[in-house]
């Protein structure tokens, strides 16, 4: 089933909510398939100073989004972009093969948010 770290992030997800005047909002997933993540970022001087998530999906998707926020908070954008799905999976103590798509989704939402930010700031 789910390991202790996944269950902790699922039962007590970090940084849940939205940011009213977010610097960027990324979205990833497919509502028809079930798992979707929305990531709100506040970025100051090219550094992520706040991150919030809204997730609709399975426990592993919620855990992956929660872990992602912890991995990127306080990081410059270039460093945050270096966070890949394997890093999210590792932060959760490893994910079973059938749930790796959740960490891929976390990576995709981060890339979408940063790309949206860069598109609006030139």
CATH value at residue 78: 3.90.1010.10
The confidence band for 7, taking pLDDT boundaries of 50, 70 and 90, is very high
Q: Tell me what the pLDDT averaged over the chain comes to.
A: 94
Q: What total number of domains does the chain contain?
A: 1
pLDDT beyond 70 at 96: yes
Long-range contacts formed by 33-36: CB under 8 A, 24+ apart: 34/58, 35/61, 35/101, 35/102, 35/105
pLDDT beyond 70 at 122: no
Which helix (H) or strand (E) segment is 27 a member of? strand 24-29
pLDDT beyond 70 at 121: no
Domain residues for the domain of 16 are 4-121
- Partners of 54 in the beta sheet? 38
Give the pLDDT of residue 2. Answer: 80
Rounded to an integer, the average pLDDT of 39-46 is 97
């Amino acid at each position: 089933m789910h390991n202790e770290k996944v269950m902790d992030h699922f039962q007590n997800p970090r940084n849940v909510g939205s940011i009213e005047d977010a610097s960027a909002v990324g979205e990833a997933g497919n509502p028809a398939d079930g798992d979707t993540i929305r990531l709100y970022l506040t970025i100051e001087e090219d550094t992520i100073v706040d991150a919030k998530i809204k997730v609709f999906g399975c426990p592993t998707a919620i855990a992956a989004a929660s872990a992602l926020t912890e991995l990127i908070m306080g990081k410059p954008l270039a460093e945050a972009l270096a966070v890949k799905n394997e890093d999210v999976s590792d932060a959760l103590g490893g994910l079973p093969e059938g749930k790796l798509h959740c960490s891929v989704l976390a990576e995709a939402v981060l890339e979408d948010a940063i790309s949206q930010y860069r598109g609006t700031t030139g």
